[in-house]
Amino acid sequence: MVFWLIIVVVIAGLAWIRFAPSDPDTWHVDPQVTADQDLANGVRRRIPAGEDTLERLHAIVLATPRTELLTGGPEDGRATYVTRSKWMGFPDYTTIERKDDVIELWARARFGQSDLGVNRDRVEGWLQQIGTAEG
C-alpha cells in the first residue's frame, strides 16, 4: 500500500512540473544583468545590441525545440520564453531585454537548485548563432 502511495505522489509531482501554469507576472521581469554570471540554476549574459540583434535573437530562440514565447516580444523591448526539457518537461525561463546599446539575457530554472548547466549551454548556443550571423 505504501509503495502505491509513493508512486501516486511521484506521478502527481511530475504532472505538476509538466503542467504547472507559467505566470507572466512572475517570470517576465527585468533581467538586471550587470555582468556575465554563471549561476547554480541559470545564467546571465550581456551582449552588444546591433540594430536588429533583438529580432534575430528572438527568431533563434523560437527555433529552439520545445520553446515558446510566454509574453512580450521584440516590439516591446523585452520577451520571456519557456523552454521545456525533452523527457520530464521541466520549464526553464529566459528573459531577453534590450537596454540602450546592450541586450541582457537571464535564463533560469523554475524547479530545483541546479540546472546542471543546461541554461548556460542553451544561451551560449544562441549567442554563437548570433556571432555566426554577424560574422
Place of cell 545564467: 43
d(C-alpha 65, C-alpha 51), whole Å: 26
d(C-alpha 134, C-alpha 10), whole Å: 46
Q: pTM (2 decimals)?
A: 0.87
Report the percentage of the chain scoring pLDDT > 70: 97
Q: Is the pLDDT of residue 118 over 50?
A: yes
Over residues 16-40, the pLDDT tens digits come to 777 788 899 999 999 999 999 999 9
Structure confidence at residue 135 as a pLDDT band (50, 70, 90): very low
Domains of the chain listed by start with CATH number: 23-134 (3.30.310.80)
Rg (CA), the chain: 16
